[in-house]
């Protein structure tokens, strides 16, 4: 194997079959095909941990479940050796995880805001009620 400047490995792979030389020449010639393998490409990430967290902790509109399914498909494609299919499924899982995380964060933020606003209004209502009762007792 030899490495070219682009970071690829070139390996000689014998072709299947046989090539018979020109008539009158003895023996057969072997044809060699050179293929390049990119050693810099990493297998795609399947985002399985992120998908599990989104499935367990934040699953709005079942996005966490869908992300988990696509992560498992990406892992299966990676194990089989179909890196392009694994990249496609991993990209979809990543997108679903992002949406799930953003929607869950927005829902948590809105919940905190609602709790704070209701608490402040309840406190003000109780304070107003007590001051009204206190003033009405002494004015009679």
Tokens of 76: 């299966």
pLDDT-derived band at 15 (thresholds 50, 70, 90) equals low
User: What is the greatest pairwise CA distance in the chain?
Assistant: 132
What does the mean pLDDT of the chain come to? Answer: 79
Would you call 107 helix, strand, or coil by DSSP? Answer: helix
pLDDT-derived band at 11 (thresholds 50, 70, 90) equals low
Q: What is the mean predicted confidence (pLDDT) over 1-5?
A: 52
Note the pLDDT of residue 60.
83
Residue 74 CA to residue 84 CA, distance in Å, equals: 10
In Å, what is the CA distance from 93 to each residue of 53, 64, 70, 86, 90? Answer: 13, 9, 5, 10, 5
Domain ranges of the chain: 1-41, 42-139
Residue 112 CA to residue 103 CA, distance in Å, equals: 14
Note the pLDDT of residue 98.
95
Note the pLDDT of residue 21.
53
Cut 0.75: pTM above it:
no
pLDDT digits (tens, 9 = 90+) for 23-61: 555 555 555 555 555 545 788 898 999 999 999 988 888
Would you call 25 helix, strand, or coil by DSSP? Answer: coil
Q: Locate tokens 């869908």: which residue?
A: 66
User: E strand or H helix at 123, and its extent?
Assistant: helix 83-139
DSSP state of 68: H
């Amino acid at each position: 194997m030899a490495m070219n400047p682009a970071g690829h490995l070139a390996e000689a792979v014998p072709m299947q079959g046989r090539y018979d030389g020109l008539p009158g020449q003895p023996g057969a010639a072997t044809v060699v095909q050179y293929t390049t393998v990119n050693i810099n490409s990493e297998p795609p990430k399947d985002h399985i941990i992120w998908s599990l967290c989104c499935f367990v902790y934040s699953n709005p509109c079942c996005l966490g479940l869908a992300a988990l399914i696509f992560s498992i498909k990406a892992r299966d494609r990676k194990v089989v050796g179909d890196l392009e299919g694994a990249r496609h499924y991993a990209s979809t899982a990543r997108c679903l995880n992002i949406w799930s995380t953003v929607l869950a964060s927005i829902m948590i933020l809105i919940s905190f805001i609602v709790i704070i606003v209701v608490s402040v209004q309840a406190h003000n209502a109780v304070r107003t009620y007590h001051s009204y009762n206190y003033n009405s007792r002494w004015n009679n």
